[in-house]
Amino acid sequence: MMAPPVRTSARPFRDLYYVRLATTGLSFMLFGVGGVLLGVVVVPLLLAVPGSGAARRTRVRRMIRIAFRFFIGFAHHSGAISYSFSGAERLGRPGQLIIANHPSLIDIVLLIAFTPDAGCVVKREALRNPALVIGVSAAGYVPNAPTDLMIERATTLLTAGECLIMFPEGTRTVPDRAVHFHRGAASVALRAASVVTPVFIRVEPPSLFKSIPWYRIADPRSHFSLRVGRDIDPAAFRHGPPPIASRAFNEHLAAIYAVEAAAN
Amino acid sequence: MHDRDAILGELRATLVELFELDPARITPDAQLYEDLEIDSIDAIDLMDRLRRQTGRKIDSGRFRSVRTVSDLVDTIHQLVNET
């Protein structure tokens, strides 16, 4: 399993390569073991404290945010990754839909770690992952399928004034392939978002991408840069028949990301 | 809107308005997804509209088995004739 990465040059590995390989492995273990423990021990305790459904959800989300902050801190200080996040203070507003491109495995972890009381749309597979299932359900995260239920739940959540994170690409993007935005996020935005805020994620050099196994770590270490872009007002697109409007809005969003990608 | 022809007529008008389709393409045999390019997100917008038009809550599970325009007409027909 610990196959050395493909070498493209004869130079020695840089930047504490083997230390980082070990701490990357440790980070994965921490996530898996931590997720199961928090799900089995902490979530039931949090749910046992009296309160409304919303209060319980907020409590679980706060715990997840603290756990993810800790996890990111571990990955960062142990040298597995480095990261920067600019504009995070503009995340977490009522009715805000946060969208982001999705290059890596930990995009959602970074976003949740820095967004107060956020809901998010997660892959349905998250409900089959033992480290995630209990937390995901208790936090009221929204599975991405079936589509009609996803739209309904996401709309309800935003209408109630919560903040929601979605990846319009749906799944991690394979590098060098044209980006395709699914219309779900645009449709949800037009139905219920008070504001849409784009986050641009860049990972350089690439790691934790879809096509890269976790142990093929970057050399030197990957830097995850997250930048919160300018707010987009969905109201400008709320006219005409909804299917036409959501297509136009989706193209608008995809174009914003295309401009960002071309600038890099 | 109780017989199938009337339903088809109204549905055609709705589809033309919502999706800017050429009415000639909306035949009973037309496949919603393959022929008319109405995807799962569109289907939700369409369901919202039908809900308002018929005043009935359409169960999404029932809608998922709809493939053609005539399937949809049948579903609406059943719906409006339910008591």
Contact B45 A147 (CB under 8 A): no
pLDDT tier, B14 (very low <50, low <70, confident <90, very high otherwise): very high
H or E element that contains A139: none
pLDDT for A177: 64
Residue type, A111: L
Contact B41 A183 (CB under 8 A): yes
pLDDT for A194: 98
Rg (CA), chain A: 19
Contact B18 A243 (CB under 8 A): yes
Per-residue pLDDT tens digits for A96-128: 999 999 999 999 999 999 999 999 999 998 889
pLDDT for B65: 84
pLDDT for A9: 54
- Pick B4 or A5 by higher pLDDT: B4
Among the partner residues A151, A244, A246, nearest to B20 by beta-carbon distance: A244
Among A185, A177, A210, which Cα is nearest to A104's? A210
pLDDT for A143: 95
Residue type, A69: R
Nearest CA in chain B to A152: B44
Q: Which residues of chain A have pLDDT under 70?
A: 1-12, 175-178
Is residue B40 over pLDDT 90?
Answer: no
Contact B60 A149 (CB under 8 A): yes
Q: Which two tokens stand for residue A29?
A: 């273990």
Q: What is the DSSP code string of B13-69?
A: HHHHHHH---GGG--TT-BTTTTT---HHHHHHHHHHHHHHH-SPPPHHHHHT--BH
Per-residue pLDDT tens digits for B63-76: 778 899 999 999 88
pLDDT for A168: 95
The model scores a pTM over 0.95: no
Contact B41 A246 (CB under 8 A): yes
Per-residue pLDDT tens digits for A61-103: 999 999 999 999 999 999 999 999 999 999 999 999 999 999 9
Is residue B44 over pLDDT 70?
Answer: yes
- Pick B15 or B80 by higher pLDDT: B15
Nearest CA in chain A to B40: A147
Alpha carbon of A155: minimum distance to chain B alpha carbons (Å)? 12
- Pick A135 or B1 by higher pLDDT: A135
B33 touches chain A (CB under 8 A): no
